Amino acid sequence: MRPLAELVAGGGVLVLSGAGLSTESGIPDYRGETGQRQRARSTEQPMTYQRFTGSAAARRRYWARSHLGWRHIAGARPNGGHLAVAELQARGLVGAVITQNVDGLHQAAGARDVVELHGALSRVVCLACGGRTPRGHLERRLREANPGWAGRAEAVNPDGDVALDDAAVDAFRTVGCDRCGGPLKPDVVFFGENVPPARVAECYALTEAARALLVLGSSLTVMSGLRFVRHAARLGVPVAIVNRGATRGDAHAALTLDAPLGTALAALLAELGPAVAPGTVPSA
């Protein structure tokens, strides 16, 4: 832990977080241990952008399942890992946070300057007019459109999707945009969809301005996060990775640590010692 503490103690750290940071809040990941268990129990594949936009039936299936799964996501609370990131920010050691997660738990823990690389489940966007509304507003409309609906959630996925039988899906009624009537989509980047270019450019700029890049709980399997690790390495910005298991970015890292995120970040804070108030001279 000492090498990681020495890296972070210098400040100017950019955090890149993934699903592994939220598993201790009860939200499974896709590629780690919890995600593998979920896939073993389900024949469903994650929704793709092409299926969602190309089929009203696919949208109904998604919203029926997500209507139940959202309750689980909305009820999740930040764990020790999220709180540790917010504490490192409060100490002035961590600047911005790039997160691949769509659960909003960094902000709930008190983190600021969070770039949601893949969007947020707490927002809904109309595919016709582009209008955005809070997820809570849609949930009220869906409840009103489906009185007495008997769907029951089973396993919950990282994107708020759940396993649901066909009869419950067929009985579910979707709603359109209350401005123009167009189809609604969660304001997240689906599989097969590109991250908005302006967001990517912002993350590259943050990487270039960082003194160090700290990856937390990401396998870096997909290029959306790995590209920033590669960019940091090309620039000579040291990369540290804390994750359960190997990652696709390990070859670019100056330091890797295979450990549970909550435990590792608690140990990091302990190694750094207590926070010092501004203007206070540390004792010898």
What is the pLDDT tens value at each position of the chain, 284 positions in all? 899 999 999 999 999 999 999 999 999 876 544 444 444 444 566 789 999 999 999 999 999 999 988 988 899 999 999 999 999 999 999 999 999 999 999 999 999 999 999 999 999 999 999 999 999 999 999 999 999 997 776 666 656 667 788 898 999 999 999 999 999 999 999 999 999 999 999 999 999 999 999 999 999 999 999 999 999 999 999 999 999 999 999 999 999 999 999 999 999 999 999 875 444 433 43
Instruction: Could you list the residues known to form a binding site for NAD(+), using ranges.
Output: 100-103, 217-219, 243-245, 261
Helical segments of 76-145, H only: 80-90, 105-108, 135-145
Instruction: Specify the pLDDT at position 154.
Output: 61
Note the pLDDT tens digit of each residue in 121-135.
999 999 999 999 999
pTM, rounded to two decimals:
0.89
> What average pLDDT does the chain have?
90
Note the pLDDT tens digit of each residue in 196-253.
999 999 999 999 999 999 999 999 999 999 999 999 999 999 999 999 999 999 999 9
Structure tokens at 68: 């139940």
Instruction: Specify the pLDDT at position 155.
Output: 60
Structure tokens at 272: 């750094």
d(CA 264, CA 262): 6
Residue with tokens 């295979």: 258
Domains of the chain (ranges plus CATH)? 2-272 (3.40.50.1220)
Instruction: Specify the pLDDT at position 183.
Output: 98
Torsion of CA 159, 224, 42, 63, to 10 degrees: 30
| Order of strands across the sheet that contains 119-126 | 132-134, 119-126, 184-188
Question: How many helices (DSSP H) and strands (DSSP E) are in the chain?
Answer: 11, 9
DSSP state of 162: B
127 Cβ partners below 8 Å, 6+ apart? 53, 182, 183, 184, 185
Instruction: Specify the pLDDT at position 278.
Output: 41
281 Cβ partners below 8 Å, 6+ apart? none
Instruction: Specify the pLDDT at position 279.
Output: 40
d(CA 213, CA 242): 11
Choose, from 67, 118, 137, 252, the residue flagged as catalytic: 118
Q: 113 — alpha (psi -120 to 50), left (phi > 0) or beta?
A: left
Instruction: Specify the pLDDT at position 40.
Output: 40
What is the number of other CB atoms lying within 10 angstroms of the CB of residue 277?
Answer: 6
Whether 118 is catalytic is: yes
Residues 233, 260 contacting (CB under 8 angstroms):
no
